[in-house]
Structures are given as structure tokens and as C-alpha cells.
Amino acid sequence: MQRYSLKTVVAILICCNAFAQSKLLNDSIAGHKKIFDKTGEVAAWYKPEIPGAAYAHVAKLASEFIKNTPPIDPKTGMPLYYLTCCFSGPHMVGEEAFSKGQAPTDWLNNPACIYAGMVHSLVNGYMVYAGDMSYVSIVRKMLDYQIENGTTPATWPWASVPYASADPGETVYRGSVRWAKDNMRGEGLHGIEPDKVGELGYAYLRFYEVTLEDKYLAAAIQCADALAANVRDVVPRGSSTEEFSIGKSPWPFRVNAQTDVVISDYCSNVIEPIKLFDELLRLQKRLNLAEQKVAAYGKARTIAWDWLYSKAGPIATGIWSGYFEDIPNDHGLANRNQVSPMETARYLIRNPTLDPNIKKTVPYLLNFVSTAFRTEGLKAIKEQTWCYEPMGSHTARYASVCALWYDFTKDPYWKKEAYDFFNVATYMTDPNGVVRVGPTWAGSWFSDGYGDYIRHFLEGLYAVPEWVTDGDRLLGSSSVIQSVQYSAIQISYNTFDNTSVERLKMQMKPKSVTINGVKIAEQKNRVAEGWYWEKLSTGGVLSIHHTTGNNIVIAK
């Protein structure tokens, strides 16, 4: 059995409690007065009488906080999200101190996770919902900074990949060193996390699909190259009675990028590299990828997928361990987190043909998370067993997967589950856009409160369009949306792919839909090429299926 020093145990507890400065009160959650609906469940704090109205509202508050009022470091003049993972809002340090940038928290930074999340939440998410293209330039600066100041040398075994961690205040990312003696929190000098190579690599690729700027494609390909070159074939392929190890995964959780020395052997989060490989393989002809790369990506992807579903993988073992950069090494595989099973479930729902037993796998993953990470007396999800605290981002994540599963199955149980958990998650957002970590954790993280929070509400609105109450909105697409404009007479947008399917919530049935200037026909179902209108009690849902272009104009 793995034994931990008293210092390590204390450090784990400190991680969970150092910032927990507010207590869950019977009549309030995270500074908001608790409101109940007619069934006795917690309702959202904003417009509780209108189901779903709060979801777009908190996404707006959080997004505009990053855009307009992020805390600024007084020494460098840089937004704090370049320098630290987290900050204390004005409710903790006061308005004057906050306005002067006296808000950073002394804890290791997680830039790769922050920036990947900002791509999904602000560019693929809120930019599309609001039609505000300024978020592209904001996130471009983040990605450029990581590429220029947080990428490994091209000559190392793990070449040209992003660092996941850095010490707070450091302007150059090289792995976090200050806490390395505490069982390698933050990986140490030149340490990386391969799952974050996949996570940020996929975000680089998605950002390329928005901007068509080659440097982001190059960064994504470099991530894929490193993952393919360093994959480990640990899939058990012998007899049913063979002995096998559950302590190794296709990529380690932590590894020294310069020496290739493994720091921590196991990481269940293979879905992020798989997403990167799948998208590059889908685009191989369009990107003119070399046959050698295609073969290497396909081989690595197959190993990762086969392991995920093997008797040694987390689908079978339930060992969802290895995600958070500030947790000590877990050689005994004692820790569990909810991120990896939920993001795996999300990917399956988006790609249902990948798992012939999806109707068993996804509920199994949802039930695991709702059981293992439940919070007594509150519809909230805890982060991990080594930081067993309810948090807004993870509550919203669970809710979003429930909503997507409802959209897939039409089982009303999952819609209600999503609704109840989303409502609690709204309470973490203050009216000024500061997002607290959780009901008992008053501090704020750029990952948990923004990159890994906003997108979940927007996915919920995509899955349940009746929750959209603030006008005509493009909710999502099977393609990346490059730009969108809303006006009184039309909605126009561009997709990366000529062939894709979009979903919009509109107040009135459109007059016409054109693809690259050519009208397409209204259809009697959403599967056929053309457009389909589904009337709701208020407005309706417009589904568009097109194959002949990427400029779509909807006349109101």
C-alpha cells in the first residue's frame, strides 16, 4: 500500500483548504441568497422564475470579466492569467486592493490548462453565442505567449510541446519548481504533462480552424508528433488469465521533457490526445499531411483507444487518476477525479459510433461521478478525492454532460439533473464577473472559473435550446465557427468546414437560408440537407445541414 509522509498529507489538505474562506450557509451559496423553486430544489440566483435565463447571464458576466476587467499585475502590467493560476476577488481583498492588482495567490500556475480552456470557452463558445469577435484577439495573445514563453526546445525527446506548469509570477514557463520537493507537485524543472500536450494541442488546432493562421496548426502538429513518438503500447493482448499492469498508461502523467525520465507513470486522461489525433486524421487530405505522420498518428490513437477500453484501462478499472498539476505524485493510484470520465463521456456523445455500447457506457460514467463526487445537501460535484471540495466548474461540467445526454436520449431525468446542477453552479458567479471556485472556496481560478466554466453553460444551452431566453443565438455546430454577425434582419456566419450541421434558437421562423448565396430548401426533418424548423412554446429551433459551402445567411 502506498504510504505518504505527514508533509504530503498536510499539503494535500492545504490545497483544498488554503483558499476556503467562506462557509456554506443554510441561507446562502457563495455570497448569493439561496433561492428555491416550487419543487424545493435550489433555483438559479438570476431570474429564477425563467428556467435557463441565468446560464447565458453568468457566461456573459464571466466572459466580459476576462475581456474588460481582469486583475492586472502592477509589476509587469500583464493580466494575472499570464502569471498565476488564481486570484482573490474584491470580496476578499477589497475593491481598492483589487483595482491595484493586489490580488494574486501564491500557488503554482497552470497555463496550458488555462489557455486551452479559454479557446473553448471564449472563442469556440462565447464568441459564437454573442457575436463578439474581440475574444479571438484576446485568446490569440494567450496562445502566442505560451508558444513563445512556454514551449520545450525542438531538440528534446519531448520536442516543441507546451509546459503545463510554472511557478507563480514567472514570465517564462519551464515547469513549477518551488513545490517539486513535495512529491513532484508541478513536475519540477522541465517537467511536462503529456495529457496537457494533447489538450492544448487540440486547442491550438481548433484556434487554427477559426483563424487559418499556420502557426497554430504548426503548434498542434508538433504536439501530435511528440505524442506519437512517445506513446507506450501497454495494451494487454494476451490470454484472459494473463497478469497485466494497471500502473502504466499510453503516456505517463508526468515526464521530464529533456531527459525523458518518467516522473509519474499513470494518467487516465487519454481522451485529450485522442481528440487531437482524430481531428488531424479527419483533416489529413485538406492539410496535406505526410503519409508518415498519418501512420504514426493512427497507430498512437489506436493504442490509446484500445487501452482506454481494455481490462487495464479506466473504463474497466474505474481508475480515473492523473489530471491536476498541483497534486503530488500518486504512485499508489489512490486519487480519483471527475474531469477525465466526464470529458470521455462528452466525446462519446459527440461521436456515438465510437462505442457500440454507448447507452451503457455514458450512464455508467455519469452515475460514477454523481456518486463518487456528490455533495451532501447540495447539487454540487467535488473535484477529486484528494481535493474533495465542491466546485462550480465541475458541477457545471457534470450538468453539461447530463444535458448532452438528454439531447441524445430524450430521457427527461437527465434534463432535470442538468437543470438542478446548472442552477447551483450559477451561484459561483458574482455580479461583477468574479467566479469563485466553489460554495466553500471564496478564491478564484482562471481555469476553474473561466476556461473550464463558461463553456459548460453554453453546451447546456445547445443541448436544451428552450433555456435560451436572450434573443436569436447560434448555439453550436459540428464544425468550428470562424465568425458570426447578428443583426435585426439576418444572422450570418462562416464555418471551417463546407459540410456541417448547426443549431440555432430563434424567436421566429426564418424567411430563408442561403449557403454561399444559394438558397437551400426547408425540410421535414433535421437529417436531410437543408433547414428544419422545430417550433417551441417560445420561438423555435433552426437546424441547418449543408454540404456546399461555408458562408451561411439566415434571413429573418
Extract the C-alpha cell encoding 518. 444559394
What is 343-397 written as a DSSP string?
HHHHHHHHSGGG-TTHHHHHHHHHHHHHHHTEETTEEEEEEETTEEEEEHHHHHH
State the Cα–Cα distance between residues 237 and 225, nearest whole angstrom: 25
Q: Are 454 and 126 in contact (CB under 8 A)?
A: yes
> In whole angstroms, what separates CA 158 from the centre of its chain?
24
Residue 514: per-residue pLDDT: 99
What's the pLDDT tens digit per position in 451-504?
Answer: 999 999 999 999 999 999 999 999 999 999 999 999 999 999 999 999 999 999
Mean pLDDT of the chain: 95
Q: Please give the angle made by the CA atoms of 422, 424 and 429, to the nearest 5 degrees.
A: 95
C-beta atoms surrounding 387 within 10 Å:
19
> In whole angstroms, what separates CA 435 from the centre of its chain?
16
Confidence of residue 426 (pLDDT cuts 50, 70, 90): very high
What's the pLDDT tens digit per position in 279-310?
Answer: 999 999 999 999 999 999 999 999 999 999 99
12: pLDDT strictly greater than 70: no
C-beta atoms surrounding 144 within 10 Å:
15
What's the pLDDT tens digit per position in 99-145?
Answer: 988 888 999 999 999 999 999 999 999 999 999 999 999 999 999 99
State the Cα–Cα distance between residues 477 and 503, nearest whole angstrom: 6
Q: Which of 203, 81, 60 is nearest to 127 (CA)?
A: 60
Model's pTM, two decimal places?
Answer: 0.95
* Contacts (Cβ under 8 Å, ≥6 apart) of 393: 425, 437, 447, 448, 449, 452, 453, 456
Q: Produce one character per residue of 486-510: b if its CB has 16 or more CB atoms within 10 Å, e if not.
A: beeebbbbbbbbeebbbbbbbeeeb
Extract the C-alpha cell encoding 465. 435550446
Residue 244: per-residue pLDDT: 78
What is 179-245 written as a DSSP string?
TTTTTTTTB-TTEE-HHHHHHHHHHHHHHHHHH--HHHHHHHHHHHHHHHHT-------S-TT----
* Contacts (Cβ under 8 Å, ≥6 apart) of 228: 277, 293, 296, 297, 299, 300
Q: Which of 410, 376, 417 is nearest to 396 (CA)?
A: 417
Instruction: Break the chain into its structural domains and give their ranges.
Output: 1-54+334-470, 108-325, 473-555
State the Cα–Cα distance between residues 352 and 346, nearest whole angstrom: 10
Residue 101: per-residue pLDDT: 87
Residue 9: per-residue pLDDT: 41
238: pLDDT strictly greater than 90: no
State the Cα–Cα distance between residues 91 and 310, nearest whole angstrom: 48
- Measured CA distances, 161 to 82, 165, 222 (Å): 18, 12, 7
Confidence of residue 325 (pLDDT cuts 50, 70, 90): very high
- Which contiguous run of DSSP H or E holds residue 97? helix 95-99
Q: What is the average per-residue pLDDT within 312-317?
A: 97
First to last CA, the chain: 65
What's the pLDDT tens digit per position in 183-233?
Answer: 999 999 999 999 999 999 999 999 999 999 999 999 999 999 999 999 999
21: pLDDT strictly greater than 50: no
* 203 against 24, higher pLDDT: 203
Residue 25: per-residue pLDDT: 52
* Contacts (Cβ under 8 Å, ≥6 apart) of 5: none
- Which contiguous run of DSSP H or E holds residue 137? helix 134-149
Q: What is the average per-residue pLDDT within 506-510?
A: 98
Residue 241: per-residue pLDDT: 66
Q: In terms of DSSP bridges, do strands 86-87 and 530-535 run parallel, antiparallel, or are they unpaired?
A: unpaired
